[in-house]
Amino acid sequence: MKEVKNPRRPMILYYLIILLVIVLFNWLVMPSFQQSKVQSVNYSTFMKYTQEKKISTVQVRTNDILFTLKGGSSDNGEKIVYKTGRMPDEGLTDRLYASGAQFKSDLQQTSTGTSLLVNILSFVIPLLLFIWFGRWLSKRMMDKAGGTNSMMFGMGKSNAKLYVQSTEGIHFADVAGEDEAKENLEEIVQYLHDPKKYTSIGATMPKGVLLVGPPGTGKTMLAKAVAGEANVPFFSISGSEFVEMFVGMGASKVRDLFKQAKEKAPCIVFIDEIDAIGKKRDNTMSTNDEREQTLNQLLTEMDGFDNNNGVMILAATNRPEILDPALLRPGRFDRRVPVELPDLKGREEILKVHARKVNMGNDVNFNTIARMASGASGAELANIVNEAALRAVRMGRKVVREEDMEESIEVVIAGYQRKNAILSAEEKKIVAYHEIGHAMVAALQNHSEPVQKITIVPRTSGALGYTMQVDEGQKNLLTKEELLNRIATLTGGRAAEETVFDSVTTGASNDIEQATKVARAMITRYGMSDEFDMVAMEQQTNQYLGGDTSLTCSPQTQKDIDTKVVALVREQHEKAIRLLKENRSKLDELAQYLYEKETITGEQFMEILNQPPKYRLDTNGAQVDEPQQPETETAQAEVQESEAQAPAAASGIADRR
């Protein structure tokens, strides 16, 4: 969609113009009002002017004398009034009369009145100019917005962006991975195209459609795709833009938005992040605030719509649980469309959509990349494709290869490689054993995700290394055994450190956090505890924003939960230590190989793991060399059969520290 914008001059230009007008007024116009000024002289000078008959008008007052001279004016044409003190002089009046002076009684009043008029005009005229300018500018801005509200500077006007159809408009074909959401919204498009098809049978379309889902899943893009398919005007505004400093401005914006929408009908109004104004109203005494007035106006406007006025309201939010029930009732937002994270097939389709804009090589397997990007949103997948294209340019290639896509996944998830991070030989060895510990515990258990890649190259996210693993298919359910194996795999790094170095490091902090989180969820939310059975001890909030949780049980029960979590993690930790001790030879061999190569693939890992061990440990912990691999045909056949049954490596992220 293409946004329609009118060119606007900077506001500073208008203020400079009015400032210039004020300066010119005081410089050119005001001097014409200043016709007189008072100048003090001594009494002898006054007597001299009297004898020389130069006095034109005179005013004799109690304490002083004001007079003007014949032809007396300054260079700029101002009339000069002279003032001198009053002296004891009995023949003064006769001498003044004899000199031809005219007696006046308003010289001081004329001077004072003129000065007062000048002061008033110098203040009032600029103020009137400013008020006139403000009204003119306000009217000009509102006329451009298509409204008639006369508030100063357009406050209370809706600043929704209006989009119209263009040659590069967004359509449903540009949105992948959300087939169910598109199916629900296609009905809206058909209604906007042919409303009689529905009204003839007595059906009415929903007045509002609420799109809910995690960030980056394409809620805004879906709304634009609806407008692109329907080929109707599309008003877009954020919920936070309704909230103003002055009470009543938000409600005025809502009224203006719906007025514009009715004038452009049929059209679509899209309100992004509607939770900014649609939160539940509380029970406090003072509830007449700006946000609540805006919500009340929105409720009124939506409920006041005619059934067939051609205006469709779309809204998006990440927090549907906090919206006001009056906003979600039938007649306002009738339909709720989930826009969830894409599954394996959806991720593959999204990658293909974004790959249309990039020169992709023939070796790129989108299914493999989609499996590696498990849990990624549409926005993250778009970023992965873009990062791959940037890497291809850095490498001097004109096409994107699969290695670029794989590296871009690691960049998005774990950050760029830290080329200036130099680990000491001892630290590098510890990290190698730590990551091999994760990989071996995962490989030695059933129901575990296969290993794809192991690396000890530091990343900008702070990870000194990580083990990549993901299931081959799309999983929607996890069994208790799979969750226990995941905890054991997370403790495998620390178990390797304890087994080899008889010490621990800070490198397992993220492993500990994840293992504790999984164990607590098993007990409090998944009902996988014999003692608590199927009783929920924890409540999840903000489902689409990280899923924060809070315990809903007594302090004593919380203590019991903590005890069970510790016992569960300790049990799997001991299991990981036992597995690594039983396969100490392979642990040393793989760690040494990773130490030398820094990065190994899942195929290389499994190949070494499936080979016969070079030594074993006796009861005293000493190394005992294993016999050489048998050379008989029967033994070779058994070895080949064992290798053929070895699990194949897959891809994904299992651990990141």
Active site residues: 435
| Cα separations in angstroms, 573 against 405, 484, 579 | 35, 10, 10
Peptide bond into 266 cis (omega under 30): yes
CA pair distance 435, 442, nearest whole angstrom: 11
CA pair distance 331, 311, nearest whole angstrom: 14
CA atoms within 13 A on the CB side of 4: 11
DSSP 312: E
- Per DSSP, helices labelled H in 146-269 are 179-193, 196-199, 219-230, 249-264
Sheet strands side by side (includes 161-164): 2-3, 161-164, 234-238, 267-272, 311-317, 208-212, 335-338
CA atoms within 13 A on the CB side of 37: 12
Ramachandran bin of 367, using left for φ above 0, alpha for ψ from -120 to 50, beta for the remaining angles: alpha
**Using an 8 Å Cβ cutoff, are 22 and 126 in contact?**
yes
Place of tokens 């989108």: 366
Tell me the residue type at 609: L
CA pair distance 247, 341, nearest whole angstrom: 38
- Per DSSP, helices labelled H in 211-338 are 219-230, 249-264, 290-303, 325-328
What does residue 540 show for φ and ψ, rounded to 5 degrees? -100, 135
**Using an 8 Å Cβ cutoff, are 619 and 613 in contact?**
no
CA atoms within 13 A on the CB side of 510: 15
Query: What stretch of H or E contains 601?
Result: strand 599-601
CA atoms within 13 A on the CB side of 350: 31
| Contacts (Cβ under 8 Å, ≥6 apart) of 71 | none
| Cα separations in angstroms, 604 against 399, 441, 443, 600 | 28, 16, 13, 6
Task: Give the residue among 350, 361, 428, 348 at the shortest CA–CA distance from 388.
Answer: 361
- CA angle, 373 then 350 then 192, to 5°: 145
**Using an 8 Å Cβ cutoff, are 83 and 66 in contact?**
yes
CA pair distance 596, 134, nearest whole angstrom: 74
CA pair distance 239, 269, nearest whole angstrom: 12
* CB count in 10 Å sphere of residue 599: 12
55-70 core/surface letters (b: 16 or more CB in 10 A; e: else): bebbbeeeeebbbbee
* CB count in 10 Å sphere of residue 346: 20
Tell me the residue type at 587: L
What does residue 353 show for φ and ψ, rounded to 5 degrees? -65, -45
CA pair distance 286, 281, nearest whole angstrom: 11
Grouping H, G, I as helix, E, B as strand and the rest as coil, residue 273 is coil
DSSP 28: I
Query: What stretch of H or E contains 612?
Result: none
